[in-house]
């Protein structure tokens, strides 16, 4: 199946590898009756993926309906989905067919499935397992042959922990998971989409397409885009209408969209929703903490070597050691190591700051070592930590992500960014 042709047919723009993987999975599963769970932030295009699955399936000539579970009141959702009998409740003046009856042999897309009430979840689970359901106010069991595609922008596993979503329904829906990347995860597509929207609105409003300078491009690419493609499209439309010139510089851009100046650095959130938990800043903290531990171990090793090998050292007080060599807690180390410094050595200490420490060759097993300057590049250290974690867990990304304290999605992006071989 030609992926480029599918993109053109549905107006999908971008070359992100994560996006193409999601499209490829949708096309592969389309010709089956497997239940699909589409996951992704609001505004990433989950409904488009559901339409692709339906229109490339054997059910493409039958009905397709998209239902927003969060937009239907809890008291009426069962009637909407499964129908009701006359007199089933106040206001039920006639029989009503539900979507599972009217869309028989077609496809139902259940968006925001995480907002579905628990009793409705039980009815949905029965349909998934046996294809059977009962209308509200009826005792007659009916059958339906409907393919279900569900979507969510929340972490259903967190909902399960809180008792707001059925675990058995989750695993029944999650037969084939498809993860749609958010816009900030496909930064290489931001300016491609910007130009596409700019051309669309130029044609719509009979004007020239808006263009940006390099500084504005960087600002657009580094923004978090919480509203994803919808937010970008709305911004381009504002620029097309409100800007006096078709060439946008960074000052003009910030006047119309001051929110772009917010960098939205990654941080931990207390809510149960799926968030980007930690990235470069948290990895840096971990690296600095490990470096501090390594420095402490190195200090202890030096004092142990001096003590065990009866090495000579100048008789400097703890205060002098701390001042001249910036060794923290020198007094503690001197006390713990119980070192006896000779006061009758023939060294001259007049200009000790410029003199090397001389260690006599006592025939020990230690050989000459070459001093290698350690790289302090954050990118190199981040890559090193990720490589160690992957090696420790034998390439299992999920376990490595837990070890690093980041999401599996963030880890995948870092692996691609740093070209780490697994």
Q: What is the pLDDT of residues 351-362, one digit of tens each?
A: 444 445 444 544
Q: Taking the CA of residue 171 as centre, how many other CA atoms within 13 Å lie in the half-sphere pointing to its CB?
A: 2
Residue 97: what are its φ and ψ, rounded to 5°?
-85, 140
For each of the domains in the chain, give its residue range(s) and CATH number, in order of start: 3-181 (3.40.50.300), 184-261 (1.10.8.60)
Q: What is the pLDDT of residues 195-220, one digit of tens each?
A: 999 999 999 999 899 999 999 999 99
Q: What pLDDT score does 18 carry?
A: 94
Q: What pLDDT score does 373 carry?
A: 56
Mean pLDDT computed over 91-112: 93
3-state helix, strand, coil in the chain (%, to 5): 50, 10, 40
Q: What is the pLDDT of residues 110-135, one digit of tens each?
A: 999 999 999 999 999 999 999 999 99
284, 45, 380, 283: which is closest to 186 by C-alpha? 45
Q: Which residue has the tokens 């990720």?
A: 386
Say how many C-beta atoms besides its own lie within 10 A of residue 216's C-beta: 22
CA 162, 165, 171, 174 dihedral sign is: negative
Say how many C-beta atoms besides its own lie within 10 A of residue 128's C-beta: 16
Given a cut of 70, whether residue 313 has pLDDT beyond it is no
Given a cut of 70, whether residue 35 has pLDDT beyond it is yes
Q: What pLDDT score does 344 carry?
A: 43
Highest mean pLDDT among 306-315, 325-334, 385-394: 385-394
User: What is the Cα–Cα distance from 135 to 140, expressed in whole angstroms?
Assistant: 8
């Amino acid at each position: 199946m030609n992926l480029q042709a599918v993109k053109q047919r549905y107006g999908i723009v971008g070359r992100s590898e994560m996006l193409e993987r999601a499209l490829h999975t949708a096309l592969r599963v389309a010709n089956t009756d497997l239940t699909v769970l589409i996951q992704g932030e609001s505004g990433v295009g989950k409904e488009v993926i559901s339409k692709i699955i339906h229109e490339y399936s054997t059910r493409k000539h039958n009905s397709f309906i998209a239902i927003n579970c969060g937009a239907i009141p809890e008291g009426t959702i069962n009637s909407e989905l499964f129908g009701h009998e006359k007199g089933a409740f106040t206001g039920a003046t006639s029989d009503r067919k539900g979507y599972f009856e009217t869309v028989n042999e077609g496809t139902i897309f259940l968006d925001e499935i995480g907002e579905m009430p628990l009793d409705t979840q039980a009815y949905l689970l029965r349909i998934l397992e046996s294809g059977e359901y009962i209308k509200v106010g009826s005792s007659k069991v009916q059958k339906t042959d409907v393919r279900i595609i569900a979507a969510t922008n929340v972490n259903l596993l967190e909902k399960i922990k809180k008792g707001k979503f059925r675990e058995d329904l989750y695993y029944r829906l999650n037969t084939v998971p498809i993860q749609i990347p958010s816009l900030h995860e496909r930064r290489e597509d931001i300016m491609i989409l910007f130009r596409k929207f700019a051309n669309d609105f130029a044609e719509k409003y009979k004007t020239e397409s808006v263009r940006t300078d390099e500084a504005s491009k960087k600002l657009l690419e580094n923004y978090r885009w919480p509203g994803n493609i919808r937010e970008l499209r709305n911004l381009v439309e504002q620029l097309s209408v409100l800007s006096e010139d078709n060439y946008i510089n960074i000052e003009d851009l910030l006047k119309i969209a001051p929110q772009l100046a917010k960098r939205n650095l990654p941080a931990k959130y207390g809510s149960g929703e799926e968030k980007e938990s930690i990235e470069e800043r948290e990895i840096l903290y971990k690296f600095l903490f490990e470096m501090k531990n390594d420095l402490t171990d190195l200090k202890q090793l030096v004092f142990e070597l001096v003590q065990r090998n009866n090495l000579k050292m100048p008789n400097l007080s703890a205060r002098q050691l701390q001042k001249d060599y910036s060794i923290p807690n020198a007094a503690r180390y001197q006390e713990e190591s119980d070192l006896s410094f000779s006061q009758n050595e023939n060294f001259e200490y007049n200009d000790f700051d410029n003199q090397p420490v001389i260690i006599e060759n006592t025939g020990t097993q230690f050989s000459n070592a070459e001093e290698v300057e350690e790289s302090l590049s954050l990118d190199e250290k981040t890559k090193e930590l990720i490589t160690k974690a992957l090696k420790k867990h034998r390439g299992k990304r999920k376990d490595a992500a837990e070890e690093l304290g980041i999401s599996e999605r963030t880890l995948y992006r870092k692996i691609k960014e740093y070209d780490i071989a697994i």
